[in-house]
Structure 1
Amino acid sequence: MRTTYRFLRAHVLQRLIPRSRLAFNPRKPMEIVGYLSMAVGVGESARLCAGALAGAGQAISLSDVSTHPDEKSFAGWAPSHLSTEPPGSRIWHLNPPMLPRAILKKGLANFTRAFNIGYFAWELEVVPAEWRNGLRYMNAIFVPSEFTRRTIAPLTKAPVIVVPHPVTEKAATEGMREKFGIEKDAFLVSFIFSAGSSINRKNPQAVIDAFRIFAAECPNAFLLMKASGNVDKDADLRELIASVAGDIRIRIVTDRLSDADINGLIRSSDAYLSLHRSEGFGLTVAEAIMQGTPVISTAWSGTVDFCDPDNSWPVASPLIPVVDTHPEFAGLKDAVWADPSPEIAAAHLREIFRVPALAREKAGKAREFLLRYLAENSYEKALQKLIAMQAS
């Protein structure tokens, strides 16, 4: 039944949605549509967008289309002074598989009464049919990285503009080491990931492998990974947790943590290690940089926009065929992603461990670079580009 629905959604519903013929009007309010009350990446994307646009003085309204809302966790986050006027444009922080349900919920006629911008975060160089069909009814596309722009731009005549997630330095809980029983002098390595976003793509096993190579020479090392996912329903996550059972220097936490707790964990770490196979942007990597933590990251896909050898520790990676059971990636022909080396990552951990002062200095450069990069590619700048493109 689910397979049938996915087929109909990809090849029928996506083709039935009409494209708005309205021009972009910067003088009218902008509506942010997304999973605003869900603890998922696209939900955070929408929340960051709303905060950035409101902060820039743009009149906005919000439309929460969450499938599994958690209002308690996200109460009070929304900007004040929201507009009550009908929007002239919308930014849909939903990837194409999520769009038909949300658009039908709001009404097809309502959809065409605004200039529609899709914020699409695809992670590979091969785009599935459903995503290509979803491009056809958007008036413009915002993407989080140059990697994603190069992939999507050839598939649409609509403007495709890079707008990285507007990451800011957020509150960080003190005492996170004590909370998890980690010694003050331990060399703490952390990694945050969502198992629902394809545990294979996030590649936590490579993080464990790299840490174990490093820990053989560093007795006081500790790896703490925060995983989002349902352990009861996710066999891969259960298998990952079982693989570290009995290892007193590795812990995988699946409890719900507040954003401040997660930021506190990252800030108290000596290194943040992300050996992802591919990222559309790399939100947790950027958040680690904002917290001033030295970052080791796969040298491929979205993170290369702000991670380079001058400010972080990139892990050179050969590309291998994508093999995954996740619905988004299963069956994609000719798709590849990175296979980062745990040995190279372990060598980077040794360098950070041996010269911590230089590592922190390098991490400071990463933060300075990221702040400049985000300012140069803000939502405000993207909307100005749209106005200029329309005028020409």
Structure 2
Amino acid sequence: MSNKSVSVLMPCRNAMPFLEAAVESVLAQPECLELLVADGGSTDGSLQKLEGLAGVDSRVRIISRCDKGPADALNKAYCSARGTFIGWLNADDLYAPGALARAVAALNFNPNWLLVYGEGEEFNEDTGLVQRYPTLPSSVGINGFRSHCFICQPSVVFRRTMGLLLSKFDLQWRTAFDFDYWLRAFEAFPHRIGYIPHLQGRTRLHSATITSKQRAQVALEATQLLARHFGAADAKRLHNYALELQLGIAQMPEGVDLVTHLQQLFELARPSLTPAALVHIQHTWLSGDLPQPPRSEPCSWHSENLQPALPRSVVPFAERPFGVNLIGHAFEIFGIGEDIRMAARALQTAGVPCSVIHHPAANGAACSDRTLEPFICSDPTGGPYAFNLVCMAAPIQARWLRQAGCDPLRERYTIASWPWETQQWPDAWMALLDVADELWPSSQFTAAALAGPAAQAGMPLQVMPMAAEISEPDRFCNAAARASTRESLGIPSEAVLFGYGFDFNSSTIRKNPMGALEAFQRAFPLPHLPATFGREFTSHPLSDQVSLLIKTFPPQRISAEWQWLQTRAAEDHRITLIAENLPRDQLLALYGSCDAFLSLHRSEGFGRGMAEAFQLGLDVIATDFGGNTDFCTGPLAHPVRWRKNPIPRGSYPYADGHIWAEPDLNHAAELCRKVALRRLDFRSNQASSNYGCELTWLSPHRSRFSFSQVGIRYLQRLKNLWDSRALVASGLKWNSG
């Protein structure tokens, strides 16, 4: 079969600013037999540009100069196609390098498949936004479309025969003709659709796209299509559109008010909705005030919502014993649970008495670390000591207080160590400053977000880096321990091992494990693609001397990212995935067996994983953004360049409109190669059997995060407050009254 076997269909209308880049991304694919452009009557010079491109490359063919819309344009282009396979790229989208090669190889290797699609990416060059399209593997079946359209259109390639079997694109759908096509394909051929776990297409977001200009029609048609295939639809698409209007993302039609517009839209959707869905959406949007956007936690805080104080006397602050009531997730195995355990160890090392108030995280994390159980206080009126130290996220503290009431605050000086990972403190959390007397952010990064709100509230703010001490770290990273751990995992003893750990039940988009995998494979390409793709790749000299280990917790829900990682790891024998709740010593042994920690996060409030990696003697390749910049210094630190990126709407709680980092994966790959070469060179020249770096490299990190050093900082601040306890008592936010 000829290498050139794909006919690419391209509907086009007034796409001049983006057209050349789209065409180039097609012609750069050796598998492209022809690019068939159906123009819808462009008036911006697109046709003239296309004619020029056709004169340079004969594969560009203009097959029409007017049509009845993009579905009609696609049908015209399809009728002229000569290729065995059909691709489809809008004139403002882009193919990823190698996309058609991967698609053709997958279809050839799986002759039963009629259609393949892969990972997609949404981007906006004006705002810098880049985000993964919410793709799901084909194994979810047609029911996966109930929640959202999980196929990114430019990632699709199908056999020409499927087009004949499935018939034409349906012209009755002005905006959802692609969604209709996917639904028909999954309904007709549920077991003949394949998924490619690689970036195949990039779809551009801008103000002139169909989904931007015709959001009401998109929501209505999607609802109608779901009803056609499933009997009835819920109101999710309509509800999301109404929220977009409220947030200013979608524009109102001219000459109509909001209520009238929604009434008209809901009436058109009535035949497609379940009776319950219709009642719910009308009640939500057409009766009374419009609701605020939904949030994962209560979006407002008012102290009057607390349970009333219990009718008993309260011990005054100055008469309480000196000590700290620690409040947080005492037993859970995840990052914030570790925060309270580390704080307890630091305070105990400094000789500060402690009690612990356990508030369940209710996030599915295992509650298997019981080291703080002897210190648990179950008194409903709060802990006995004069100071509270809250080691929970701000809205979780609000949840705790709504359940426990306000008594645990009364006549105590409450210090909040709230984690946060963007450069702004959420507006919805401003009122939570009422439940703290002082703030202890764990990094300069979080402190910068809190500085303005704290100053406005007249609150003291002290940057207090958290403890992250590893007791006897050398027992986890000596040669024997490394060899034993690697043998148990089936990882070659001499491989340069890159590692990363994160929690799927937290925020995958922020932690970005997919970026770590991509950077690793860019740094060390496989000698060949997996058998399912069967295409030779340029090898790197180190490709057979490296491995990647990714550790997470067992996902509590269906995760497209986890399925993506599993599929990609199955292609690459060098990648090991672990999804287990491990005891702390086993987790540290896992990291101790590595040579480098690869964190391509988009933001970190503190960066405990990196802090521990330094103490174990690992090179740390990490995005140069977030709380980790406080300590990612020295010979073991390798900061990764980044650019600003707006956080996608709804991707992170309370962070719409905020900014975080998009790491440069090519720079990360370059640093991976540098570290691998250095580690291999070190091993070939080392005089001892112990892996790692000189003690002088490790000592600053081990000292910085030690219980003794952190405990001293805690003690000094607490003693300063205690020495002025009469003044402190007079200014308590929550006194006996």
TM-score (norm. length: structure 2):
0.48
1:154-176 Cα distance to aligned partner (Å, 9 max, x none)? 10221111112211124639322
Q: Which residue of 2 aligns with 1:152?
A: 450
Q: Which residue of 1 aligns with 2:269?
A: none
Given residue 33 of structure 1, which amino acid in structure 2 is its aligned partner?
Answer: I
Given residue 110 of structure 1, which amino acid in structure 2 is its aligned partner?
Answer: P
What is the alpha-carbon distance in structure 1 between the residues aligned to residue 673 and residue 523 of structure 2? 7
Q: Which residue of 2 aligns with 1:51?
A: 345
What is the alpha-carbon distance in structure 2 between the residues aligned to residue 128 and residue 355 of structure 1? 43
- More deviation in 106-115 or 229-238? 229-238
Given residue 698 of structure 2, which amino acid in structure 1 is its aligned partner?
Answer: R
C-alpha distance 129-15 of structure 1, shift in aligned 2 (>3 A): farther
Q: Is the 8 A contact 1:35 1:43 kept in 2?
A: yes
C-alpha distance 7-70 of structure 1, shift in aligned 2 (>3 A): closer
1:220 aligns with 2:529: no
Give 1:372 deviation, angstroms: 4.1
C-alpha distance 228-329 of structure 1, shift in aligned 2 (>3 A): farther
Given residue 553 of structure 2, which amino acid in structure 1 is its aligned partner?
Answer: S
What is the alpha-carbon distance in structure 1 between the residues aligned to residue 692 and residue 589 of structure 2? 20
Q: Is the 8 A contact 1:196 1:228 kept in 2?
A: yes
1:368 to 689, 699, 703: 699
2:593 to 264, 268, 273: 268
Q: Which residue of 2 aligns with 1:111?
A: 409
Give 1:185 deviation, angstroms: 1.1
Given residue 65 of structure 1, which amino acid in structure 2 is its aligned partner?
Answer: H
2:299 to 10, 25, 28: 10
Unaligned runs of 5+ in 1: none
What is the alpha-carbon distance in structure 1 between the residues aligned to residue 557 and residue 506 of structure 2? 16
What is the alpha-carbon distance in structure 2 between the residues aligned to residue 287 and residue 98 of structure 1? 26
Given residue 178 of structure 1, which amino acid in structure 2 is its aligned partner?
Answer: E
- CA RMSD in angstroms comes to 3.2
- Which secondary structure does the structure 1 equivalent of 2:522 belong to? helix
Q: Is the 8 A contact 1:189 1:273 kept in 2?
A: yes
What is the alpha-carbon distance in structure 2 between the residues aligned to residue 292 and residue 258 of structure 1? 21
Q: Which residue of 2 aligns with 1:172?
A: 476
What is the alpha-carbon distance in structure 2 between the residues aligned to residue 212 and residue 71 of structure 1? 32
- Which secondary structure does the structure 1 equivalent of 2:622 belong to? strand
Unaligned runs of 5+ in 2: 1-283, 285-291, 309-313, 526-539, 684-690, 728-737
Q: Is the 8 A contact 1:311 1:363 kept in 2?
A: no
1:206 aligns with 2:515: yes
Give 1:99 deviation, angstroms: 1.2
- More deviation in 310-319 or 289-298? 310-319
What is the alpha-carbon distance in structure 1 between the residues aligned to residue 495 and residue 517 of structure 2? 17
C-alpha distance 90-241 of structure 1, shift in aligned 2 (>3 A): same
Q: Is the 8 A contact 1:207 1:274 kept in 2?
A: yes
- Which secondary structure does the structure 1 equivalent of 2:570 belong to? coil
1:51-130 superposed matches below 5 A: 51-68=345-362, 73-75=368-370, 77-78=371-372, 86-130=384-428
1:384 to 716, 720, 728: 716
Q: Which residue of 1 aligns with 2:330?
A: 36
Q: Is the 8 A contact 1:15 1:133 kept in 2?
A: no
Give 1:106 deviation, angstroms: 2.9
1:336 aligns with 2:336: no
- Which secondary structure does the structure 2 equivalent of 1:136 belong to? helix
C-alpha distance 308-24 of structure 1, shift in aligned 2 (>3 A): farther
What is the alpha-carbon distance in structure 2 between the residues aligned to residue 8 and residue 351 of structure 1? 43
What is the alpha-carbon distance in structure 2 between the residues aligned to residue 178 and residue 31 of structure 1? 43
2:463 to 156, 162, 167: 162
Give 1:72 deviation, angstroms: 6.2
Give 1:381 deviation, angstroms: 1.6
The percentage of counterpart residues that share the same residue type is: 24
What is the alpha-carbon distance in structure 2 between the residues aligned to residue 228 and residue 196 of structure 1? 8
Q: Is the 8 A contact 2:325 2:357 kept in 1?
A: yes
C-alpha distance 122-71 of structure 1, shift in aligned 2 (>3 A): closer
- More deviation in 203-212 or 8-17? 8-17
Give 1:224 deviation, angstroms: 0.8
- Which secondary structure does the structure 2 equivalent of 1:337 belong to? strand
Q: Which residue of 2 aligns with 1:248?
A: 573
- More deviation in 180-189 or 3-12? 3-12
Give 1:40 deviation, angstroms: 2.0
C-alpha distance 8-372 of structure 1, shift in aligned 2 (>3 A): closer
Count of residues in correspondence between the two structures: 387
What is the alpha-carbon distance in structure 2 between the residues aligned to residue 133 and residue 372 of structure 1? 37
C-alpha distance 273-25 of structure 1, shift in aligned 2 (>3 A): farther
What is the alpha-carbon distance in structure 2 between the residues aligned to residue 145 and residue 24 of structure 1? 30
Given residue 632 of structure 2, which amino acid in structure 1 is its aligned partner?
Answer: C
Give 1:25 deviation, angstroms: 8.3
- Which secondary structure does the structure 2 equivalent of 1:161 belong to? coil
Higher Cα Rg, which structure = 2
Give 1:345 deviation, angstroms: 1.5
Structure with the greater relative contact order (CA < 8 A, sep ≥ 6): 1 or 2?
Answer: 1
Give 1:348 deviation, angstroms: 1.5
Give 1:362 deviation, angstroms: 6.2
Give 1:134 deviation, angstroms: 1.5
What is the alpha-carbon distance in structure 1 between the residues aligned to residue 694 and residue 605 of structure 2? 22
Give 1:363 deviation, angstroms: 7.3
